Chain A
Amino acid sequence: MKYVLILGAGSDIARPLAFLYAKHGYNIYLASRSYDQLVRDAHDISLRFKVDAQAFKFDAADVASHQSFYDSLPYKPIGVITLAGALGDQKQSEQKFTDAKNVIDVNYTGLVSIIHIIAADFEQRREGFIVGVSSVAGERGRKSNYVYASAKAGFTTFLSGLRNRLHSAGVQVMTVHPGFVRTKMIEGRTTPGIITASAEDVARDIFKAQQLGKDFVYSKWFWRFIMMAFTMIPESIAKKLDLK
């Protein structure tokens, strides 16, 4: 009865990722705010792979509900993958703090809340894996999305600390840094085709790395080198660049 819990299951990466776990015999919990969509997704997964798949309502920003959400799961999961997050609107975030706070909550604060609840359970059971999907955007601030990016930076650092804490309990904590992914999140924007991955590519990278027990993975792999170069640019020069 192994269950994998996917938080932010409304993300385009969630379905192909759930397919991979279900194909390998895991049962699936899908959780996000878009409950109706998830019910269809869960039914589809159970028909395709003959596993149990269930949908739950989950709002990363509604931290008061997190404990009861986790307690409501019929069986405790063996692993959790969080895809929750939202780009928000940088301009709005600059002008209205409530907008900025919402971006920070869904990308960082809310995840600290739910992951700590799950981590406590895994730590006690001395098993499990936690996969946090952060972003390459968190590695350097840019004027076009730095509120989102700073929340992701916080999340990445949170995960590395958590990894350190849970190592002795035998719990795997893996950080994922995707680059451009062809999803709803960036619909309408133009991204360079050759370095833009599909949601399926990213799902495959996450599944493979998690099963291999990795700590950190870039998706696609070449983002490691792109970010290495990008973060090497001195701040005195970076501040003058028109970083979109």
Chain B
Amino acid sequence: MKVTGWGNYPVVEATVHTPSTIDDVKKIISSTDELIARGLGRSYGDSSLNHTILSTLRLNHILAFDEQTGTLTCEAGVSLAEILDAFVPRGWFLPVTPGTKYVTVGGAVASDIHGKNHHVSGSFSNHVHSFKMLLGDGTIVVCSRTENVDLFWATCGGMGLTGVILEATFSLIKIETAYIRQRVIKARNIDEALDYFEENQHWTYSVAWIDCLAKGDSLGRSALILGEHATKDEVGYKYRDPLKIDRPFSASVPFFFPDFVLNTYTIQVFNMVRYASYFSRDSFVEYEPFFYPLDMILDWNKIYGKRGFTQYQFVIPKKSSAEGLKTILKRISESGEGSFLAVLKLFGKQEGILSFPQEGYTLALDFPLTQKSMNLFTELDEIITHFGGRLYLTKDVRMKKEIFEKGYENLPRFMEIKRRHDPQKKFLSLQSRRIGIV
């Protein structure tokens, strides 16, 4: 069948196995030369693509939950959406969540996902106690900070290239309500935005939406959004059960929009309207619109048309963040290749061997895949490498091997661990081949 990532490019013909027991997973692995595991396919590019794919979507049982500590054990195919559905009403929340809840736990570990709280809570792997994985030779191993330690750190952020994650144990965090106390601060340019990030580091959640077509003195003007889980006292008097919220309305995009719908002008108008629609103020919002505004529109990726799109996400170390971001924003705004979505975020330190986050600022930009945008990316790659930054594998679809190697200084260590545990080279993706992990 035809399979593609969230960016709708590339589309590959693949054999997809969807086992429902671990025995079946074993059988598939032993009878296949090369494959990659895949969950809900929300990685943008070719990370979850190969000619043989092992879908974890039928390995989706919750196996244990400790009501005292919030420790959850579940199979790899359980989605974050399912966890929220089951546990938010009981006062528990994900320790780290990306901008969509439609990712699986296996994918969350493999991409070592980060959220708006990275500067405080780190990435998903910081909350993982252990996981069980199946290696290429059919053995099942438990990995944690004390057992199979090298595999643990190579698999967190390892893009599924070390084996198949079967189940994971991690901590949920306690919440009193399903609401977020939100503060919005508008920044007139990138310098102001970075200052606000630094000043507001004590907030658990922070993220900024940037209007990346703004120029000159307004370069990088943005709306910084801060959030904390609201307490019962803060909202309690208004709601009978502050942990229960009504199912929000969700729409879906029924077909691919024609390619011309998103162009420089429509994006410019969209960004102007959005910038104007933010007011600097405090309010309480439900967790869904706060964390997952785009999940309200299912299949929103279709608005980019059949040509597909990508998210260009990079991080630049803190010491050169300001200079690097300015150089990049300037280059983007000059190119006129507007990004529909541009998100800026402060990262803290990170441990996983191939994990994306590093202390500094990350910027994520959505672009339709065109020759012009591809040329722009090549230029941006150079700037990012120059400033010591790197690109996020989960979003990437076109990075060259050289750029990848420069960005990920722990790659030799990863390769050593992969070769030791996967000598037959069973776990590969189209992406891993492109960037030289073979």
A interface with B by C-beta (< 8 Å)? 37, 40-41, 43-44, 47-50
Interface residues as binary, B56-91 with A (CB distance below 8 Å gives 1, 0 otherwise): 000001111100000000000000001001100010
- For the A-B complex, the count of residue pairs with Cβ-Cβ distances under 8 Å equals 20
A-B contact pairs, 20 of them (CB 8 A): A37-B20, A37-B21, A40-B61, A41-B61, A43-B61, A43-B63, A44-B61, A44-B62, A44-B63, A47-B62, A47-B63, A47-B64, A47-B65, A47-B86, A48-B62, A48-B82, A48-B85, A48-B86, A49-B86, A50-B90
The answer for the CA separation of A43 and B75 in the assembled complex, in Å, is: 13
Task: Please give me the residue from chain B that is nearest to A15 by CB atom.
Answer: B60
Task: Please give me the residue from chain A that is nearest to B87 by CB atom.
Answer: A48
Q: Chain B residues with Cβ under 8 A from A41's Cβ?
A: 61
B interface with A by C-beta (< 8 Å)? 20-21, 61-65, 82, 85-86, 90
Q: Pick from A37, A47, A50 the residue with the most CB of B within 10 Å.
A: A47
A43-B63, A44-B63 given; name 5 further pairs at CB < 8 Å: A37-B21, A40-B61, A47-B86, A48-B82, A48-B86
The answer for the CA separation of A49 and B88 in the assembled complex, in Å, is: 11
Q: Chain A residues with Cβ under 8 A from B20's Cβ?
A: 37
The answer for the CA separation of A50 and B90 in the assembled complex, in Å, is: 10
The A interface, classified by DSSP as helix, strand, loop or mixed, is helix
User: B295 to chain A: closest CB distance in Å?
Assistant: 16
The answer for the CA separation of A40 and B20 in the assembled complex, in Å, is: 11
Q: Chain B residues with Cβ under 8 A from A49's Cβ?
A: 86
The B interface, classified by DSSP as helix, strand, loop or mixed, is mixed
Task: Please give me the residue from chain A that is nearest to B78 by CB atom.
Answer: A44
Task: Please give me the residue from chain A that is nearest to B64 by CB atom.
Answer: A47
Task: Please give me the residue from chain B that is nearest to A187 by CB atom.
Answer: B18
Task: Please give me the residue from chain B that is nearest to A44 by CB atom.
Answer: B61
Task: Please give me the residue from chain A that is nearest to B73 by CB atom.
Answer: A47
User: B4 to chain A: closest CB distance in Å?
Assistant: 15
Task: Please give me the residue from chain A that is nearest to B21 by CB atom.
Answer: A37
Q: Chain A residues with Cβ under 8 A from B85's Cβ?
A: 48
Q: Chain A residues with Cβ under 8 A from B62's Cβ?
A: 44, 47-48
Q: Chain A residues with Cβ under 8 A from B90's Cβ?
A: 50
The answer for the CA separation of A44 and B21 in the assembled complex, in Å, is: 15
User: B129 to chain A: closest CB distance in Å?
Assistant: 17
The answer for the CA separation of A40 and B65 in the assembled complex, in Å, is: 14
The answer for the CA separation of A49 and B20 in the assembled complex, in Å, is: 22
User: A174 to chain B: closest CB distance in Å?
Assistant: 24
User: B268 to chain A: closest CB distance in Å?
Assistant: 36
Q: Chain A residues with Cβ under 8 A from B61's Cβ?
A: 40-41, 43-44
The answer for the CA separation of A48 and B73 in the assembled complex, in Å, is: 12
Q: Chain A residues with Cβ under 8 A from B63's Cβ?
A: 43-44, 47
The answer for the CA separation of A40 and B22 in the assembled complex, in Å, is: 13
Q: Chain B residues with Cβ under 8 A from A37's Cβ?
A: 20-21
Q: Chain A residues with Cβ under 8 A from B64's Cβ?
A: 47
User: B185 to chain A: closest CB distance in Å?
Assistant: 38
The answer for the CA separation of A116 and B85 in the assembled complex, in Å, is: 37
User: B92 to chain A: closest CB distance in Å?
Assistant: 12
Q: Chain B residues with Cβ under 8 A from A47's Cβ?
A: 62-65, 86
Q: Chain A residues with Cβ under 8 A from B86's Cβ?
A: 47-49
The answer for the CA separation of A50 and B65 in the assembled complex, in Å, is: 11
Task: Please give me the residue from chain B that is nearest to A184 by CB atom.
Answer: B20
The answer for the CA separation of A180 and B64 in the assembled complex, in Å, is: 34
Q: Chain A residues with Cβ under 8 A from B21's Cβ?
A: 37
The answer for the CA separation of A47 and B82 in the assembled complex, in Å, is: 12
The answer for the CA separation of A50 and B92 in the assembled complex, in Å, is: 14
The answer for the CA separation of A29 and B175 in the assembled complex, in Å, is: 32
The answer for the CA separation of A47 and B74 in the assembled complex, in Å, is: 10
The answer for the CA separation of A49 and B85 in the assembled complex, in Å, is: 9
Q: Closest 9 interchain pairs by CB?
A: A48-B86, A44-B61, A47-B62, A44-B62, A47-B65, A40-B61, A48-B62, A49-B86, A41-B61
User: B253 to chain A: closest CB distance in Å?
Assistant: 15
The answer for the CA separation of A44 and B64 in the assembled complex, in Å, is: 8
The answer for the CA separation of A47 and B86 in the assembled complex, in Å, is: 8
User: B247 to chain A: closest CB distance in Å?
Assistant: 11
User: A71 to chain B: closest CB distance in Å?
Assistant: 29
Task: Please give me the residue from chain B that is nearest to A50 by CB atom.
Answer: B90
User: B199 to chain A: closest CB distance in Å?
Assistant: 41
User: B76 to chain A: closest CB distance in Å?
Assistant: 14
The answer for the CA separation of A41 and B75 in the assembled complex, in Å, is: 12
Task: Please give me the residue from chain B that is nearest to A46 by CB atom.
Answer: B62
The answer for the CA separation of A160 and B347 in the assembled complex, in Å, is: 63
Q: Chain A residues with Cβ under 8 A from B65's Cβ?
A: 47
The answer for the CA separation of A41 and B61 in the assembled complex, in Å, is: 7
The answer for the CA separation of A11 and B143 in the assembled complex, in Å, is: 33
User: B178 to chain A: closest CB distance in Å?
Assistant: 16
The answer for the CA separation of A49 and B65 in the assembled complex, in Å, is: 12
User: A90 to chain B: closest CB distance in Å?
Assistant: 25
Q: Chain B residues with Cβ under 8 A from A43's Cβ?
A: 61, 63
User: B321 to chain A: closest CB distance in Å?
Assistant: 42
